[in-house]
């Protein structure tokens, strides 16, 4: 059994049956592995496990939690996770498998870890075309969350060596499928309210999207890469060591609270449970939410970044 925590002896294995079997085993053990897609190399982990997804962020050293793209085998599997209207179905039928990501309302019963969507009610889905990612989805038999396989702030990797240069020692395995075909992250569009909004330009041109989405002239808006953020409806107080009257306190470590991000003060567990604890707190009768201090180190930086955004006045 390989170790569960870094530093790892990062293995680079050529894409093939053995590499995919090992990658699927590691995914089953809750660890992230790098795998090629037709756009860029992704750092894939079990999308149904908050802790597995937290390990993606830990490996990337990401200072904040952005929502991640979930990769699935087919449109049928995607439809079990998100609500597709006719336009979304047309886009999926035309461009999947391929470099198109659809942002759609998530279905209530979808078994996706809250950390994947960073607490949003929408989810980004993609059916990749690369045989290595397809084989891994098949072998792992679960949806895989995968951001680009680079350390935070570095450019997206289009070769196994790029992944190794930024993540060596931080992940157990890189599946080497050679250089990627597109070398550019997927086109992202949000579909809803009868509109198709281009969130990130990519390999699929907006004209091609427009031709399929029905109305090439007016439907596609490009608001740019505006980051959507989870925002609670209640006020949120940070650095709290005790609950004030009518506050629901989310604890951490020594601060017990009404619930806890991690009673043992574990940052991976805290990251994995963060959005779940916030949603629970919103659903209580308490008028406000307070959160215990989280140390500003490792994943704590990303946790605090999200908490500060959630606490920011609107």
Residue 166 makes contact with ligand TXA by CB under 6 A: no
Q: Confirm if 157 and 148 have CB atoms less than 8 A apart.
A: yes
Q: Which of 22, 34, 57, 148 binds ligand TXA (CB under 6 A)?
A: 148
Q: Does 23 bind ligand TXA (CB under 6 A)?
A: no
Nearer to Mg ion, 40 or 78 (CB): 40
Binding status of residue 224 toward ligand TXA by CB under 6 A: no
| Long-range CB contacts for residues 277-283, cutoff 8 Å, separation at least 24 | 277/250, 278/119, 278/230, 278/232, 278/250, 278/310, 279/114, 279/119, 281/232, 281/234, 281/248, 281/250, 282/232, 282/233, 282/234
Please give the Cα distance from 210 to 218 (Å, whole number).
9
Our CB check for Mg ion shows the closer of 43 and 136 to be 43
Looking at the Cβ atoms of 227 and 312, the one nearer to ligand TXA is 227
188 binds, among ligand TXA, Mg ion, none (CB under 5 to 8 A by kind): ligand TXA
Which listed residue (66, 235, 241, 284) binds ligand TXA by CB under 6 A? 66
Q: Report d(CA 86, CA 66) in Å as an integer.
A: 28
Number of residues forming the site for ligand TXA (CB under 6 A)? 27
Indicate whether 37 belongs to the interface with ligand TXA (CB under 6 A): yes
Which residues between 94 and 113 bind ligand TXA (CB under 6 A)? 101, 103
Residue 199 is a binding residue for ligand TXA (CB under 6 A):
yes
Q: CB-hemisphere CA count at 13 Å for 265?
A: 8
- Of the candidates 20, 7, 294, which has an alpha carbon nearest to the alpha carbon of residue 176? 20
> According to the binding rule CB under 5 A, does residue 148 interact with Mg ion?
yes
128 or 257, CB closer to ligand TXA? Answer: 128
Q: Three-state SS for 221?
A: strand
Judged by CB under 6 A, does residue 255 bind ligand TXA?
Answer: no
160: CB partners within 8 A, 6+ apart:
12, 34, 36, 41, 174, 175, 176, 177, 178
DSSP state letter for 225: S
> In terms of DSSP H, where are the helices of the chain?
17-28, 50-60, 75-79, 86-95, 131-140, 160-167, 206-213, 267-283, 299-311
In the complex, least distance from residue 101 CB atom to ligand TXA, rounded to whole angstroms: 5
Binder among 117, 158, 262, 273 for ligand TXA (CB under 6 A): 117
Measured from the CB of residue 228, what is the shortest distance to ligand TXA in angstroms?
Answer: 5
Contacts with ligand TXA by CB under 6 A lie at 37, 39-40, 42, 66-69, 101, 103, 117, 120, 122-124, 126, 146-148, 185-186, 188, 199-200, 225, 227-228
């Amino acid at each position: 059994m390989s170790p569960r925590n870094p530093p790892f002896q990062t293995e680079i294995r050529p894409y093939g049956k053995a590499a995919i079997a090992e990658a699927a085993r590691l995914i089953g053990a809750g660890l992230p592995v790098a795998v090629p897609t037709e756009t860029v190399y992704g750092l894939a982990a079990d999308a149904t496990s908050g802790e597995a997804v937290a390990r993606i962020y830990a490996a990337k050293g990401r200072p904040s939690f952005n929502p991640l793209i979930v990769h699935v085998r087919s449109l049928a599997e995607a439809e079990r996770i998100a609500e597709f209207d006719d336009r979304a179905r047309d886009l999926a039928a035309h461009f999947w498998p391929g470099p198109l990501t659809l942002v759609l309302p998530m279905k209530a019963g979808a078994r996706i870890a809250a950390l994947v969507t960073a607490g949003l009610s929408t989810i980004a889905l993609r059916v990749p075309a690369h045989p290595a990612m397809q084989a891994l989805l098949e072998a792992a038999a679960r949806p895989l969350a995968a951001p680009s396989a680079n350390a935070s702030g570095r450019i997206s990797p289009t070769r196994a060596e790029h992944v190794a240069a930024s993540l060596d020692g931080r992940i157990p395995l890189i599946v080497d499928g050679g250089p990627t075909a597109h070398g550019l992250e997927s086109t992202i569009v949000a579909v809803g309210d009868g509109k198709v909004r281009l969130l990130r330009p990519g390999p699929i041109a907006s004209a091609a999207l427009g031709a399929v989405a029905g109305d090439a002239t007016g439907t596609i808006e490009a608001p740019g890469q505006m980051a959507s953020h989870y925002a609670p409806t209640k006020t949120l107080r940070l650095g709290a060591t005790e609950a004030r009257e009518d506050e629901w306190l989310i604890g951490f470590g020594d601060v017990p609270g009404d619930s806890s991000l991690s009673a043992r003060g574990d940052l991976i567990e805290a990251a994995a449970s963060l959005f779940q604890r916030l949603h629970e707190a919103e659903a209580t009768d308490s008028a406000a939410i307070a959160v215990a201090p989280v140390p500003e180190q490792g994943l704590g930086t990303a946790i605090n970044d999200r908490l500060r955004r959630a606490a920011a006045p609107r």
